[in-house]
Structures are given as structure tokens and as C-alpha cells.
Chain A
Amino acid sequence: MIDRLADPTSASWYEASARARIDGLLDAGGFREFVGPEQRRMSPHLPLFDLPRAFDDGMVVGEGILDGRPVLVAAQEGRFMGGAFGEVHGAKLVGLLRAARQRKPAAVLILFDTGGVRLQEANAGETAIAEVMRAIAEVRALGVPVIGLIGGRAGAYGGGGLIAGTCSRLAVSESGRISVSGPEVIETNRGAEEFDSRDRALVWRTMGGKHRRLTGGADAFADDTVAAFRAAALNLIGRAPAFDLATLEAEQARLEQRLARFGDCREATEIWSRLGVNDPAAVPATTASAFDALLSGLGETTHDAR
């Protein structure tokens, strides 16, 4: 696995490993990992299923410097079991967030790349997700922004989608997908007429980065480069909302409005059209800069309480 990037400006976030993303995201040389792979704290449960383990259980946590300021950072490795939450994987993130309560860093960065709960450790993973969400609320209440970055191959699905919705701010790329039930899960439960999981364009339109950004489910749209995610993270840290009654009242209003305005839509393009996008069919192919120009002409996306 490539853990260093030759050139973060052009290196693809999607293609990079968890460690390479951290390496390119933070200031050079400052990352220190907690409970690193040399400690071999692996899953105690996967051998029961005759499955291979990873020395880091697919989760990298530690501290580093971002633009001169101390941050805590967690990155999921989507190439190990789809970045799924197992017992050790989840506990490392819980520990990092608990550390953030005391350390009060400039931000906590979570680099999502997950299909959700690891079924072989389902109860531990599910409970860890609940612990993570509580810890994020506590960290945010202390005034520390928790920024989610979503652009990995596994997206942010299942409990990962719920954790993402708990963060202060989210940056997402074209290939970043945010959702609870994945396309395959919906198809398995409801049939291909409800959701054809092989229709990749449908998946992007329904759960992808542009749709989430257009409808207020994410706060920044990034090109698929490590440098773009770094720039987005820096920008979002300064715009993090408080975690209080006023913010959640505003989010309640935002979500009620979305239901009232788009509740009868079946297709993302219908929603985009109602948002005022002139040529919805052209949205999936627009470049990041053209997409940003499009966004600045729409009011909806400034309504971003979360």
C-alpha cells in the first residue's frame, strides 16, 4: 500500500490509502499515530469466521498539524473489509474523540471510507457507532469542530452515514456517496424495480457528492485530489456551527422544508430542477469549478445548519 504521496496536488483521494490521505492532508512530518499497527491490536473476532485480520483493523487515528494548528485525525481504510466498523476499529475512533474532549484541538478530522457495521462483529460495531455519535456531540458542544471528509471507494454508508450527519461540517467529492441503506441492500430487500444497484449513474445521482452538496447534505464539494480535500477542510473548520438548541432548531426547519418542497420527487434531477438548476441532466458531468459556479447561483445550499 502506498503510504506517501509523490504529489498531493494531483494525487487522487479515492485511490489513496488511509495513511496516504493523512500524509497528504496534514502538514509534512507531524503525524503521530495512536495504537499503531506495530501494536497489532487486531480484531479478536474475525478468526472465528476464518477471515484475515489487519494490524490496524482498518482504522488509523492520531495527532498532527494542519496549517500550523494541532488537530486529531481518524482515517478509515476502505480496502480492509470495506472500512466497516468492528470492535477495535470503532473503539479507536471513540478513544480519539474522548481525547479531543480534553485536548481541545483546532479540529477533529474524520476521513470516512466505510460500508457501515462489520457484520461479523455487528453488535460491537453498532454500539461503537452510537458511542462515536455521543462523543462527537460532546466534542462539538465544547466548541471543537468535527469535520468529515468523504471521497473514498466505500463512501459513508450505514452507521457511517449517521456519523457523517453528526459532524459539524462535511466535504464530499464526486465519488463520495453518503447514504444509510446502500443500493445493494435496497435492491435485495425491495427488488431491482425499486433500485437497480448496477445503474451507477443512478447511484451517483441519488447518493453522490453533487446531490448531497446541492440539497444541503454536505457543505463543500471537492475535486478528487488530496490537496482539494485539505483546502476544503481548512475552509470548513472556520465555519463550524455550534452544537446547541438554535442549531438543531434550524436543522429541524431545514429538514422539514426539504420534505415539503421535494417530498414528491422520485429523481434527483427533479429536485435539482426545482432548486433552479437550468440543465439538471448536465450536472453529473460538470467540473468542480463549474459546479461551484452553479452552486453560488442557488440559495438553498447556504442553509446549512447541522
Chain B
Amino acid sequence: MTLAEILDSLFPDGHTVAVADGIVSGDGPFRGGRLAVIGVDGGTPLGIEGACRLSGLVLDVVRRGGGTPILVAVDSGSQRMSRRDELLGLNEYLAHLAKTLLLADAQGHATIGLVYGHSAAGAFIATALATRVLAGLPGANPTVMDLPSVARVTKLPLDRLEAMAKDTPVFAPGLDNMVQTGAVHAVLDPGQPLAPQIAALMDDRSDADIRDRLGAERGGRPVAGDIADRVMREAGLG
């Protein structure tokens, strides 16, 4: 689905969401209140200016209070790769954006991510992966790194990697693999109205971070939950 189709499905009565320089902002009516929408559209790489705008928008919602939920819609590139971005501290801008979303969640603003296109690496961590519940739409393509780049770094032939990717979700790009890892909680049905599907995910959200549990159930991250639990037990807890 395109962003316009998503917004039409979410807000049949209209909305104020607009895109400027690839950065999404606005809101629309939702369950008797408003749903704030932020995000990145058009495969735009996330640099210091974009991240700074998004974090400012999240803080505006938190400052106003009232528990307004926040949808983070993502079709981005990776973090913008440039000398200038790193010189000015891109890691701080991306971490700050993630922190504002984590703070919003802690202060009662449900945060829900929606990956409908591409996203990768630091941009993915700072946006979609910083929400409480992350949903995907069929056709979305979140990746950490594409297979040709993985081939370069690991010095393994691309055809072998492609064969391995078929039954090894832990390193292969794509939505299904992120679902199996537990990073993406659910895949939405684009044939049905999105608002009730988003609302149901918000209502079901857990206070705990259940991503490692999901990853074990789905087989994409077999040992992470067990290791974390064992650390807690040896610390005399759980």
C-alpha cells in the first residue's frame, strides 16, 4: 500500500497528514480522539535534520498529554550515510528520536509502528523498532543489510547466501524474516480497513518487551529469550 492509501483507510473522514522532504507529520480522528502520525516516506534516508524534526513532533504530542496514540509510518532508506551527518553526531539524533518514542510510550501514548515499504539499519532502529507494537504490510521490505552487501562483508558467494536465506531467517532481509525474529509483531490485511486492525493491536499491547518471546515461538530467534532469562536467574531474579 502507498502512504495515501494507508491514510485513506485509516481516516475515511479525512486527516491533516502531509509529507515534506520525506518526513511525514499530521493527525486524524481516531476512536473519539486523534491519532498522531509521524514517519518517513518515499525511501528517504534518515539524516540529522529529519530525525530532529521527528523527535520534535513526538515531544509536541507528549507535551500536550492526553494519551494521544502515535503511529510511526515507515518507508525509509537506511540512515543517511555522509561525513557531515556523522560529523554532527547522527548517533545522538537517531538515539534521541528513539528515546522520545520510548518516553511517549512510558507516558501513556500508545506507539505503533507500521512498515509499508523499505527501511534499514539505523533508520529502522530509531523509528519502527522504537515503538511498542510494530506492524507490517505485505510487500514491506525491512532489512538490516541487503544480500549483495552481506556477501561483500562475509566474503561468501551471493548464490550461496541466497540459498541459505531460504531457510535461515536470522540474517535474510525482508518482512517475513523480521516477523519470525519477533521484531514485527503482526502483518496487517490490506484488504480490510486499517483503523480497527491498528486499534486491536494497540489494545493487545503488552507492557513487557515480548519480541524475544515471539522470536522463540516463531523460530527466527531460537535462544535470545532463554539467554536473557538465564542472566536474570543468575542475578537472583525471576
Contacts and interface: CB of A to CB of B under 8 A. Distances in A.
Contacts of A189: 81
A133 B178 CA distance: 18
A248 B99 contact: yes
B55 to A, nearest CB: 6
B203 interface: no
B230 A126 contact: no
Interface string A193-222: 011000000000011000110011100000
B86 A207 contact: yes
Contacts of A249: 59, 63
B222 A166 contact: no
**Prevailing SS type, chain B contact patch:** helix
B235 interface: yes
Most A Cβ at <10 Å: residue of B48, B90, B121, B172: B121
B118 interface: no
B119 to A, nearest CB: 11
A98 B52 contact: no
Given A123-B178, A137-B103, A251 B96 contact: yes
Contact of B103 (A126, A179, A244): A244
**Prevailing SS type, chain A contact patch:** helix
A149 interface: no
Nearest to A263: B88
B81 A99 contact: no
B25 to A, nearest CB: 15
Interface string A146-184: 000000000010110111111000000000001111000
Contacts of A243: 99, 103
B125 A159 contact: yes
B227 A41 contact: yes
A215 B164 CA distance: 44
Interface residues of A, number: 88
B144 interface: yes
Given A126-B124, A131-B212, A180-B122, A92 B83 contact: no
A249 B103 CA distance: 11
A217 B85 CA distance: 13
A262 B144 contact: no
Nearest to B160: A49
B95 A122 contact: no
Given A127-B181, A206-B86, A35 B227 contact: yes
Interface stretch (B9-17, B27-35, B68-76, B149-157): B149-157
B181 A265 contact: no
A54 interface: no
A129 B237 contact: no
Contacts of B183: 123, 126-127, 130
B82 interface: yes
Contacts of B84: 265-266
B87 A124 contact: no
B81 A127 contact: no
B209 interface: yes
A119 B96 contact: no
Contacts of B231: 34-35, 61, 91-92, 94-96, 98-99
Interface in B185-238: 209, 211-212, 215, 220-232, 234-237
A252 B102 contact: no
Contact of B224 (A91, A122, A186): A91
A138 B102 CA distance: 9
B129 interface: yes
Interface of B: 48-49, 52, 55-56, 59, 62-63, 79, 81-96, 98-100, 102-103, 106-107, 121-122, 124-126, 129-130, 144-145, 150, 152-154, 156, 164, 168-172, 177-178, 181-183, 209, 211-212, 215, 220-232, 234-237
11 contacts: A34-B231, A34-B234, A92-B231, A95-B228, A99-B231, A117-B144, A123-B221, A131-B211, A206-B87, A215-B88, A266-B84
5 A-B pairs closest in CB distance: A165-B95, A95-B231, A161-B91, A95-B228, A122-B144
Given A45-B171, A248-B96, A259-B48, 16 more contacts: A41-B223, A91-B212, A98-B232, A122-B150, A124-B220, A126-B129, A158-B122, A159-B125, A162-B126, A165-B99, A166-B98, A179-B90, A180-B79, A249-B63, A255-B48, A255-B89
